[in-house]
Structure 1
């Protein structure tokens, strides 16, 4: 429902998983929330107004922003959550497939951000939360291209934060680890699979299924996003969930060699 006095938030990729949980959590905290999905969705999900938007398409993004401003008159928060995964050896993906991945996970964020920044500058206030991953902090064997999108997102977000802070705008990162959603089940597969990687790739799939049994809930990530949105003086990044906090701590303080060996052991790779 509309509330002309409420802060207005846009959450991309809000039809399922983390995005849906984030949209609901923001609504429960008094925000007027607009969720987006690439495919047509019901007009309302859990009381969230749903709009169609393809973050890889400039015209679609512009249409979304126009619709939100027409209805609400302002945009206070943007949560860039829409993303896709890819599991396989880096060598197994064509340049075209890599470009498609970046077009959603990085350039989609840039499109959405560039679309809202002029209005946030005019308001002299705004908060942009980019949903990254612990794979924005650490290596991701057999997720190298996905990890690359998140490493790039981290550099973009922290740098942009310094550029727009003078306009009353902050850009922050939320970094989940494994989360119990359909994301892992819908991972893209390499478009030029190689037999030499087949055994290791199958091992990664099995390992992912195993760790997903103890994965964080989307609601736990959503709670972290709400903190990032509402903090008066936000941090650059927020680890979302117990595993993400542990990984973030270890990455900062464990010596490189020891971290490398531990990672390979955890990923069941030859040490």
Structure 2
């Protein structure tokens, strides 16, 4: 029987590429977005789902289970980015909004599918994290913090769930060229004191994005993790992500620190 996959944030970018790749590999895929089935027709069914709403999450998961009897794979992809800005330039309300989607959305989805997976004694949950889950990002503190939170949550969760036949895994992309990056959340409390450096970091990020790999690289990594007989706790997605993971793991801390500041024109 085809395995059943639910992919959040599947209307474009990494989510769309992932849902398409899984479908081509034989999964029956349900994608989701806040708009649901509105927009261009996909090669998989689209559901309306807002990961910041308990009721919406429960309804979408219940609909898939009612239709298919199970969910074998959950891909937590829904989230949004924040345009380069100092941590001081976002209000507490904005920080809470970032976490409500990027982290608590993951928690809501995971909690909703776990009872069904535990009953069946199998399942796999993949979280789309980021290299910023293990690296700092000056002028990207809130986004980096949300991805650090996913790293800790997933690894702890994985240890809890292995005895039930369920695995929790993080996928770690670096810069990825998607429409996601054209709609970044702007800081809501900008300060003139940060203008010069914020603008320099923004320019550097734009230059990096111009040469970034596409979402298919991430989708291929998701498929690898979904099908692995002995999955790892985390998978880097793409050549840059792999290099950064190696640097973070083996290079002296001072060297990583200096290189990061130089790359972002902070040195």
Shorter chain as denominator, the TM-score bin is: over 0.9
The 1-side partners of 2:263 and 2:41 are apart by 38
Aligned-pair CA distance for 1:44: 7.5
Name 2:72's counterpart in structure 1.
76
The 2-side partners of 1:223 and 1:253 are apart by 26
Change in CA separation of 1:15 and 1:268 when aligned onto 2, cut-off 3 Å: same
The answer to whether the Cα contact below 8 Å between 1:11 and 1:79 also exists between their aligned partners in 2 is yes
Equivalences for 1:109-120 in 2 at 5 Å? Answer: 109-120=106-117
1:103 to 100, 105, 111: 100
Give yes or no for the alignment of 1:246 onto 2:243.
yes
Name 1:13's counterpart in structure 2.
9
SS in 2 for 1:183: helix
The answer to whether the Cα contact below 8 Å between 2:37 and 2:45 also exists between their aligned partners in 1 is no
Give yes or no for the alignment of 1:175 onto 2:185.
no
TM-score, normalised by the number of residues in structure 1: 0.96
Structure 1: gaps spanning 5 or more residues: none
Name 2:234's counterpart in structure 1.
237
SS in 1 for 2:179: coil
The answer to whether the Cα contact below 8 Å between 2:74 and 2:126 also exists between their aligned partners in 1 is yes
Name 1:215's counterpart in structure 2.
212
Name 2:260's counterpart in structure 1.
263
The answer to whether the Cα contact below 8 Å between 1:43 and 1:50 also exists between their aligned partners in 2 is no
RMSD (Å), alpha carbons: 1.1
Aligned-pair CA distance for 1:162: 0.2
Change in CA separation of 1:43 and 1:191 when aligned onto 2, cut-off 3 Å: closer
The 2-side partners of 1:23 and 1:44 are apart by 14
The answer to whether the Cα contact below 8 Å between 1:157 and 1:171 also exists between their aligned partners in 2 is yes
Give yes or no for the alignment of 1:196 onto 2:216.
no
The 2-side partners of 1:151 and 1:29 are apart by 30
Name 1:53's counterpart in structure 2.
49
Q: How many residue pairs were aligned?
A: 266
Change in CA separation of 1:120 and 1:133 when aligned onto 2, cut-off 3 Å: same
Name 2:38's counterpart in structure 1.
42
Structure 2: gaps spanning 5 or more residues: none
1:89-122 CA deviation, whole Å, 9 max, x = no partner? 1000111100000000100000000000000001
The 2-side partners of 1:141 and 1:151 are apart by 14
Aligned-pair CA distance for 1:182: 1.4
Name 1:62's counterpart in structure 2.
58
Give yes or no for the alignment of 1:141 onto 2:132.
no
